[in-house]
Chain A
């Protein structure tokens, strides 16, 4: 079955760069899906970060757009999240998720288990 698994450093220093990987198994990342990142600060709600299609098309949360890059590695069947200039407000559980077949289709049907990232010195 389709599985997603996040990985990356659990601790990032303030003003540093957060880098996460989502490994996809059970389906090719070049299939007709958009691939997303969602985060959840401790005790708070979900926040959509952004998404990418394997062709390179992407869209981002306007509030994070200046600091976020999502990319895809077809050879590894993985996609990535880079968030620059992090602060304590970026401390959260970060989830990767499979989206729909079009950028306007809001359906995240497969999720990773989530990875905790803490921003602290």
Chain B
């Protein structure tokens, strides 16, 4: 039950788009359409940004979008804003349990 693989860090300038990947296996990400993404600011609880691969909870800006291809899920943030700077985590169903990614630090330059 290894953690899903995410890049340690990504960066982008305001207004640009960035994509964060989340790679698993056919036993988790690739096997189910149950992947969610969480944003976490320092010292705060995580906040769900995407669930069921590509669904956005109410209140989450449409600048955030999710997708999946094979064993890799992706979170894309378009029109980067300063407040998007945070840690991002993916999470997937793994057939009887859930597993998080290692996390990605997004820096807005």
Contacts and interface: CB of A to CB of B under 8 A. Distances in A.
A108 B38 CA distance: 9
A13 to B, nearest CB: 26
Contacts of B102: 45
Q: What class of interface size applies to chain B in its complex with A?
A: 20 to 34
B100 A109 contact: no
A106 B57 contact: no
B103 A114 contact: no
B103 A63 contact: no
A112 B47 CA distance: 11
Contacts of B97: 48, 50, 59-62
A60 B94 CA distance: 11
Contacts of B57: 107, 109
Nearest to B28: A106
A113 B52 CA distance: 24
B93 A95 contact: no
A27 interface: no
Contacts of B52: 105, 107
B34 A61 contact: no
Interface of B is mostly: strand
Contacts of A46: 38, 40, 46, 89, 91, 100, 103
B96 interface: yes
A47 interface: yes
A113 to B, nearest CB: 6
A27 B91 CA distance: 25
B51 interface: yes
A46 B99 CA distance: 9
B109 interface: no
A114 B45 contact: yes
27 contacts: A38-B46, A38-B100, A45-B3, A45-B89, A46-B91, A46-B100, A48-B91, A50-B97, A61-B1, A61-B97, A62-B1, A100-B51, A104-B32, A104-B34, A105-B34, A106-B35, A106-B36, A106-B51, A106-B91, A106-B98, A107-B51, A108-B36, A108-B46, A108-B48, A111-B45, A111-B47, A113-B45
